[in-house]
């Protein structure tokens, strides 16, 4: 319960800070502005002095924004929407109270704030690629986690997730009436990819909220407010970029003010420049870890072909159908699921867009650019989240073109007839039995390292990611393709452990992945062997030659590096 209180304290403080900046704002606008501003203000703490008391204290500073007595408005909450959201929030709340077991939380979203709290700083570099991303939201998570642990970050995320759904409803209601609002929010709530993240500490939904607020500001002709929310969105996650590009294009088209469009765009980008400078100061490419790896000329980093259902022209044409009908939550076939009603909504909204133009056409244009941008990148449905609320708005408005009875049936279909996993992402997440954390791959090895290694140990986490459960300083760690680990081995070869030792690493926590060629069918035998099999086998040999085996539990082991 302390976590919930800490999250509310954090939210109130951020609303105060955001309110002071905006003076007159809806509560979601103030919260997003406050999160963005606080995240930027806390950036210097990543280089040191990130003491829990200072981070927690920064919330008091943020809360002084209330002294400016800003006008903060609550969102409208129509009762059908409330009825839909209450059970979702309750279920998400249960998830938020549980031990972190989600992969992305364990290796990144909660692990980075914890690392900052434990080590007092969060340096970047090839050994810490996750820390080189823009971390505005993670720094705010750190402040509330200093007060209330992981639950605080998850609850704060839940608050932003609910505000996203309410803002989606509000925009759709404004464009198409109450029914449109309800269908829009129901489409979101009926989508696995949205719902599964509500009770987790992620950054996709807050990014989507910032994008939606930027769109709303764009539609209202408020360029500088659009710049503010665009800046926040970019500093939370780069996947906002395509939607923001659409928003700025629409702003230019609607206002015909080229200079202002350019200035606001520059201002939005300027908000992430401090993160780029931070990387450059550490000798990295500003956009690291998305660019600038040492061996990028001979080492493949992103396997776009691995996600979705192909990237030929025919696949891209079929993408809307495939992404809604064939998506799977447990495989790289889009790795998620959205309600199939989005597909219907997209078809239904075409006529209203052509007929009414105005705001609706503007939103459709932004959604189109967002979808094209998503299609150009990895076909993960979570990367579509910044665009998805806009698609939900269009779906809601599209649904209102149907006769009322059909509309009702459609609404029921949204909530009840979605593919089963659209409705049940909670079930595997709800922590019914306490020891679920022990199911995290490498959990026992992480606990061993935390409880049994000497105080001054530094662990390299290779082919493994149980970061949240590590209480000792650590570097690397990787998931999925294990790029950071493979790249380290690729670059340093037989000297890989020696190079780690030179970085102060004393121990290695290693997992055994056994990469399967079938997962990378687009690679030749030679490519797969060189990029996947060789690094893993090489590490196993190096550890046998150079390490002392201290712990082993199935696929995970802890080795001490011999001096």
Chain residues that interact with another protein, rule: CB under 8 A: 444, 447-448, 452, 544-545, 547-554, 562
> Least distance (Å) from another protein to the CB of residue 556?
10
Give min distance, CB of 551 to another protein, in A: 5
The pair of structure tokens assigned to 368 is: 């189109």
How many whole angstroms separate alpha carbon 139 and alpha carbon 131? Answer: 11
Smallest distance, Å, CB 460 to another protein? Answer: 17
- Distance of closest approach, residue 508 Cβ to another protein, in angstroms: 13
Pairwise CA distance, residues 460 & 513, whole Å: 16
Q: Measured from the CB of residue 557, what is the shortest distance to another protein in angstroms?
A: 9
Answer left, alpha or beta for residue 477, where phi above 0 means left and psi between -120 and 50 means alpha.
left
Question: Which residue, 244 or 446, has its beta carbon nearer to another protein?
Answer: 446
Is the Cβ of residue 270 or residue 549 nearer to another protein in the bound state? Answer: 549
Q: Output the smallest distance, CB 430 to another protein, in A.
A: 23
Q: Closest distance between another protein and the C-beta of residue 553, in Å?
A: 6
Nearest by Cα to 396 from 220, 177, 217: 177
Report the distance separating Cα 486 and Cα 360, nearest Å. Answer: 47
Q: Specify the residue, 7 or 446, whose C-beta has the smaller distance to another protein.
A: 446
Nearer to another protein, 527 or 554 (CB): 554
Q: Are 42 and 190 in contact (CB under 8 A)?
A: no
Residue closer to another protein by CB (options 382, 447) is 447
Q: What are the tokens at 347?
A: 């078809």
- In this complex, which beta carbon is closest to another protein, that of residue 116 or of residue 500? 500
Compute the least distance from the CB of residue 115 to another protein, in Å. 23
Name, in order, each residue with C-beta under 8 angstroms of 322's C-beta and a sequence gap of 6 or more: 308, 309, 315, 334
**Tokens of residue 303, six digits:** 């396997």
CB closer to another protein out of 532 and 551: 551
DSSP states of 113-173:
HHHHHHHS----STT-GGGGS--HHHHHHHHHHHHHHHHHHHHHHHHHHHHHHHHHHHHHH
Which one, 260 or 533, has the nearer CB to another protein? 533
- Per-residue b/e over 272-300, b at no fewer than 16 CB within 10 Å? beebbebbeebebbbbbbeebbeeeeeee
412 Cβ neighbours under 8 A, 6+ residues apart: none
* Burial class of residue 254, CB neighbours in 10 A (0-12, 13-18, 19+): middle
Strands 24-26 and 556-561: unpaired
Residue with smaller CB distance to another protein, 17 or 472: 472
| Cα–Cα distance, 558 to 563 (Å, whole number) | 16
Nearer to another protein by Cβ, of 158 and 470: the residue is: 470
Among 538, 550, 503, which Cα is nearest to 128's? 503
Nearer to another protein, 28 or 536 (CB): 536
Torsion angle of alpha carbons 269, 274, 277, 281, nearest 10°? -170
Token pair recorded at residue 340: 């199939």
What CA–CA distances, in Å, run from 123 to 218, 399, 473, 499?
36, 49, 12, 18
Distances (CA, A) of 268 to 265, 275, 347, 450, 461: 5, 13, 33, 41, 35
Ranges assigned E (strand) in 33-109: 71-73
CB closer to another protein, 248 vs 559: 559
Q: How far is the CB of 235 from another protein (least distance, A)?
A: 41
- If the CB atoms of residues 503 and 553 are measured against another protein, the closer one turns out to be 553
Minimum gap (Å) between residue 552 Cβ and another protein:
6
Instruction: Report, in Å, the least distance between residue 544 CB and another protein.
Output: 5
Minimum CB–partner distance for residue 453 and another protein (Å): 11
Q: Which residue's CB is nearer to another protein, number 304 or number 549?
A: 549
Residue 532: both structure tokens together: 């996947």
Closest approach of another protein to the CB of residue 50, in Å: 31
Nearest to 214 by CA among 240, 180, 185: 240
CB of 477 to another protein, least distance (A): 21
8 A C-beta contact, residue 469 and residue 501 = no
80, with CB counted inside 10 A (0-12, 13-18, 19+), is middle
């Amino acid at each position: 319960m302390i976590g919930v209180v800490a999250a509310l304290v954090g939210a109130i403080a951020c609303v105060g800070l955001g309110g002071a900046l905006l003076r007159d704002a809806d509560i979601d606008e103030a919260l997003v502005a406050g999160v963005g501003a606080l995240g930027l203000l806390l950036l210097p703490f990543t280089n040191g002095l990130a003491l829990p008391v200072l981070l927690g204290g920064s919330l008091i500073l943020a809360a002084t924004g209330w002294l400016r007595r800003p006008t903060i408005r609550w969102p409208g909450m129509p009762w059908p929407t409330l009825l839909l959201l209450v059970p979702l929030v309750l279920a998400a709340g249960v998830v938020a109270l549980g031990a972190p077991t989600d992969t992305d939380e364990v290796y990144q979203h909660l692990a980075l704030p914890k690392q900052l709290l434990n080590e007092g700083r969060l340096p970047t570099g090839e050994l810490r690629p996750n820390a080189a991303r823009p971390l505005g939201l993670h720094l705010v998570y750190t402040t509330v986690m200093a007060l209330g642990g992981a639950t605080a970050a998850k609850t704060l995320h839940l608050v932003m997730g609910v505000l996203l759904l309410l803002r989606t409803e509000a925009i759709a209601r404004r464009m198409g009436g109450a029914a449109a609002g309800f269908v829009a929010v129901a489409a979101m709530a009926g989508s696995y990819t949205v719902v599964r993240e509500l009770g987790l500490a992620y950054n996709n939904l807050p990014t989507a909220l910032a994008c939606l607020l930027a769109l709303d500001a764009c539609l209202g002709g408020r360029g500088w407010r659009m710049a503010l929310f665009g800046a926040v969105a970019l500093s939370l996650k780069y996947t906002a970029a395509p939607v923001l590009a659409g928003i700025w294009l629409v702003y230019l088209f609607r206002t015909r003010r080229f200079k202002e469009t350019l200035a606001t765009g520059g201002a939005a980008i300027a908000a992430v420049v401090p993160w780029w400078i931070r990387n450059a100061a550490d000798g990295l490419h500003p956009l690291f870890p998305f660019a600038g790896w040492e061996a990028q000329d001979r080492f493949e980093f992103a396997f776009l072909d691995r996600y979705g259902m192909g990237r030929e022209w025919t696949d891209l044409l079929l993408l809307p159908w495939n992404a809604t009908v064939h998506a799977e939550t447990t495989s790289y076939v889009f790795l998620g699921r959205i309600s199939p009603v989005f597909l219907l909504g997209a078809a239904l909204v075409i006529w209203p867009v052509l007929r009414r133009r105005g705001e609706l056409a503007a939103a459709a244009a932004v959604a189109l650019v967002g979808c094209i941008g998503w299609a150009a990148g990895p076909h993960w449905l979570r990367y579509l989240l910044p665009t998805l609320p806009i698609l939900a708005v269009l779906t809601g408005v599209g649904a209102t073109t149907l006769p009322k009875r059909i509309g009702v049936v459609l609404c029921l279909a949204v909530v009840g007839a979605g593919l089963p996993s659209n409705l049940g992402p909670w079930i595997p997440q709800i922590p019914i039995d306490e020891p679920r954390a022990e199911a995290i791959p490498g959990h026992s090895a992480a606990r061993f390292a935390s409880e049994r290694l000497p105080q001054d140990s530094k662990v390299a986490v290779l082919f493994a990611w149980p970061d949240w459960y590590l209480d000792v300083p650590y570097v690397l760690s990787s998931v999925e393709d294990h790029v950071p680990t493979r790249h380290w081995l690729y670059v340093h070869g037989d000297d890989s452990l020696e190079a780690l030792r030179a970085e102060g690493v004393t121990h290695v926590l290693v997992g055994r992945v056994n990469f399967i060629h079938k997962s990378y069918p687009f690679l030749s035998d030679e490519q797969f062997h060189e990029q996947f099999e060789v690094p893993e086998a090489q590490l196993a040999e190096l550890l046998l030659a150079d390490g002392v085996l201290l712990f082993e539990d199935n696929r995970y082991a802890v080795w001490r590096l011999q001096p």
